[in-house]
Structure 1
Amino acid sequence: MSNPQRAFIFDMDGTIVDNMAFHTKSWVAFFERRGHQIDPDEFFRATAGRQGHEIMRHYLGEHLTKEESAQLDFEKESLYRELYAPHLATVRGFDQFIANAKRGGVALAVATAAPNDNITFTLDGLDLRGHFRAVVGAADVARGKPNPDVFLLAAERSGALPAHSIVFEDAPLGVEAARRAGMRAVALTTTLPAEAFAEFDNVICIARDFSELDIEQLFAAAPAATAI
């Protein structure tokens, strides 16, 4: 009997690339244009992993139409790409980590709340897309994190069951989405300290970057409790 397909599912922003400070700067500038002041740290904790239209409607009003929200989201994301473009790079150890995973037969996928333009900007800008069996973004699912939709679809397209899939995340909402999907998670402290993930029983490892991770040790690790 063949071994089950194993998968690594990567969040993109803050996980593959250390870019969340630039997203925050673009959000601050976007809201300042509209006379709104936001606390950057509080905003990140409340929104990281949510889709753009969900954030727009929450902060600017449920009255926004889909078309109005899309226009606002385009403005904000264009500002982000302008800010981050000179700094585009993978998180330390990522390239070697995925090379090792592929040699070990692990299916690789991206599951992100980012719109297609940002996915293209990052994955194609770094020539990474060809490494992934599946790339799932905001356009592919109706609900953002902490709902599990994006991770479940990424696992399905990778040919792996949730129990054999490990999620890599930098945000609590993303780790919660993995928990709801029945998946173990690795939390990266690119954006928040380790304490931010202390409450999650599906976190099997907390690391600064991918150079600290061992593939077989991750798959051997079990969460403290079964996710629901």
Structure 2
Amino acid sequence: MDDILKGKKAALIDMDGVIYDSMKYHAEAFRRLFEEEGVPGNPEDVYLYEGMRGADLVNMMYMRAYGHGVSKERAAELYELKSKYFYEIGRNEPMAGADRMLDALKKRDLRRVLVTGSAQAKLLEGVNRDYPGIFLPGDRVTALDVTNGKPDPEPYLKGLAIAGIQPQEAIVIENAPLGVRAGKAAGIFTVAVTTGPVPREAFEKEGADIIFPSMPAFADYLESL
């Protein structure tokens, strides 16, 4: 296999489902929220739409169910409730193999920039504790930093700006189809890692440049370089 890091200066890395095995808890929190609100839908849809800003995902689920969304204020209120449920049932659980993946990137002197659709403070605060020395201060793009979340390319374009590089000098590491779409729309070589129930075909459809079946498999590949 070719060296996908050749000529690269930075890796733009998603959080949920990439460095944290947290998507199962997000899905359950959304299931609880939508059940209480009487909004029909499959909780596993969260895996398909992961990477969107939380309030945008809430609004989209209402749009799909009823043909109309909710106000910006109501969407934010519902997302806050979902975040409460997440912390009641979930926890920061590092993804198996993510530490090896990040260490391999560091050894190749690639700058690591976190690019996430999350705005949950506790999750974001835990990154430096769980992955010390991996992300420099300020090297992150969150839902609070963008007007348009994934699948819009804005989060990854902001990641490029933080690193001070061109698209061809970066790679994106994603676990969600919409994140892959955002990375490709930004003109960046995009790696998909299937850490959840989303089938490989969904990532192929979005144009992922390379697909790994698990994070340990991706870490094995990087270490082999």
- Corresponding position: 1:117 with 2:121: yes
Conserved? CA contact 1:186–1:207, under 8 Å: no
Match of 1:106 among 107, 110, 121: 110
Which consecutive unaligned segments of at least 5 residues does structure 2 have?
A: 1-5
Conserved? CA contact 1:162–1:182, under 8 Å: yes
Corresponding residue for residue 3 of structure 2: none
Deviation, 1:161, is: 1.6
Conserved? CA contact 2:39–2:62, under 8 Å: no
- Corresponding position: 1:89 with 2:93: yes
Match of 1:160 among 162, 165, 177: 165
Q: Which amino acid aligns with 1:68?
A: R
Q: Superposed, which structure 2 residues align to 1:19-98 within 5 Å?
A: 19-45=22-48, 47-60=49-62, 64-85=70-91, 88-98=92-102
- Corresponding position: 1:187 with 2:192: yes
Shift in alpha-carbon separation, 1:211–1:25, aligned structure 2, 3 A: same
- Corresponding position: 1:148 with 2:150: no
SS class of match (1:110): strand
**Mean Cα displacement is larger for which, 147-156 or 53-62?**
53-62
SS class of match (1:40): coil
The alignment's C-alpha RMSD in Å is: 2.4
SS class of match (1:167): strand
For normalisation by structure 1, the TM-score amounts to 0.82
Q: Which amino acid aligns with 1:140?
A: D
SS class of match (2:168): helix
Deviation, 1:123, is: 1.4
Conserved? CA contact 2:18–2:98, under 8 Å: no
Corresponding residue for residue 214 of structure 1: 222
Deviations 1:86-113 (A, max 9, x none): xx32222221222232232110011010
Deviations 1:136-192 (A, max 9, x none): 100000011110111111121122221111111111100000000001111111112
Q: Which amino acid aligns with 1:197?
A: F
SS class of match (2:20): coil
Q: Which amino acid aligns with 1:49?
A: G
For normalisation by structure 2, the TM-score amounts to 0.83
Conserved? CA contact 1:110–1:136, under 8 Å: yes
Deviations 1:62-119 (A, max 9, x none): 563333222211110121122112xx32222221222232232110011010014254
Whole-angstrom CA distance in 2 between matches of 1:205 and 1:78: 33
**Identity across matched positions, percent:** 28
**Mean Cα displacement is larger for which, 139-148 or 58-67?**
58-67
Match of 1:170 among 156, 175, 181: 175
Which consecutive unaligned segments of at least 5 residues does structure 1 have?
A: 218-228
Whole-angstrom CA distance in 2 between matches of 1:198 and 1:35: 34
Conserved? CA contact 1:167–1:183, under 8 Å: yes
